[in-house]
Structure 1
């Protein structure tokens, strides 16, 4: 019997795999939709799929990269306002998806390069946080917004779930 490594890994690898699972769901929620659908506000507050991806990229940079003293790419918006939840007319879908990919890669470098008990200090907090705490927090944050994305996607085209439906039986 083969055991998938992620089910028998150590703490850090398990946490990282959990985060990656939710990150993949976020990207899957975008597949098959056109630009108008990705930007369409589906709640009174204006929540849309692409804005949620932009926000998640921003918080990956903040919690993992900036908090642990690494350089964050120059941002074209203010991450301390709701600008990270909105997508302007000059921002492209590919720009936001690429931004999320770069944030994820930069965060992964921090995760793999430090022990779980490494301390970072976000500039908006008055106390340090461990990498372990940040991993757990970002699993929560990403899962929360992936759930929002599930609802928004269902409202757009009826698609639900956290992965493509399998066809046939195994």
Structure 2
């Protein structure tokens, strides 16, 4: 797993797309940071009655990145080996290694980044439920989704080993 030191900063005077993308990247990086230094048992450790664990949240975020950024805009996505509509994206199965899920997240991010860089914010796509949405809306939705789960991961990580914080110290 490779991440850069310090947190991505949203530019104070950047353009709309640049700022939205930087905000998303900031939370994406926090998600990966929450896995650093943990062993396989720790990233899989269920910490809530609903079954929340760090690795499951990363798998879920990869799945929704592909769904919102790629499927919505008719872009290529890799075949999923699980059913996200059955909740299988929220947990890591026995044969799913940490590396496999982190690499899956990396590929989903790269595919989403291509969509973000190639399309204008006003470009329209059709979501999984048939709703017409703009790229701007999807970026905002994914910032919310990623920030929400990064917060969950912060709490789970603190329960595992006491580490806390919303972003890697710079």
TM-score, normalized by the shorter chain, greater than 0.5: yes
Q: How many residue pairs get matched?
A: 162
Structure 1 residues 148 and 5: CA distance shift in structure 2, 3 A? closer
Provide structure 1 residue ranges, at least 5 long, that are not aligned to the other structure: none
Which residue of structure 2 aligns with residue 138 of structure 1? 142
Structure 1 residue 126: deviation in Å?
2.4
Which residue of structure 2 aligns with residue 22 of structure 1? 27
TM value normalised by structure 2:
0.92
Structure 1 residues 87 and 9: CA distance shift in structure 2, 3 A? same
Residue of 87, 91, 94 corresponding to 1:82: 87
TM value normalised by structure 1:
0.92
**Which structure 1 residue ranges, 4+ long, deviate > 2 Å from structure 2?**
4-7, 163-166
Which residue of structure 2 aligns with residue 33 of structure 1? 38
Which residue of structure 1 aligns with residue 116 of structure 2? 111
Q: CA offsets per residue over residues 48-81 of structure 1, 9 Å max, x none?
A: 0000000000000000011000111011001212
